[in-house]
Amino acid sequence: MKILGVDPGTARLGWGVINGETMIACGCVETKAGLAEEVRLRTLFEKLSGLIKKYQPEAVAVEKIFFFKNQTTIISVAQSRGVILLAVSQNHLP
C-alpha cells in the first residue's frame, strides 16, 4: 500500500511516500518568511495537492499535534494541518 506521510508546519512541511517497507520519495515544502499567512497556506495546499497527484497514495498519515512550547507556533502548525486535511479530503483519501 502506498502511503503519504506528512509532518505539518507553515515554514517547513515534511513529507514522505512509502510503498510497503520501501521509501519512494521524501522532501520538504518550504514557504518564505514574511509572506502573508494566507499565501503560505495556499502554497502548502497547492504543493501537497501536486504531491498527491504525482505519487497517487492510497492513504495519508498526518502527524497530530501533541506537544507545544509556544502558542504562536501551535496556531500556525494547526492551520497547516487543516490545509493538509483539506487537500486529503478533496482527493478522497483516508
pTM (two decimals): 0.90
Mean pLDDT, residues 11-29 = 97
pLDDT above 90: residue 35: yes
Q: How far apart are CA 60 and CA 57, in angstroms?
A: 7
* Contact call for residues 21 and 35 (beta carbons, < 8 A): no
Planar angle of CA 49, 90, 92, nearest 5 degrees: 105
* Contact call for residues 88 and 44 (beta carbons, < 8 A): no
pLDDT digits (tens, 9 = 90+) for 53-82: 999 999 999 998 766 666 667 888 899 999
What torsion do the CA atoms of 29, 36, 75, 61 make, to the nearest 10 degrees?
-30
pLDDT above 90: residue 34: yes
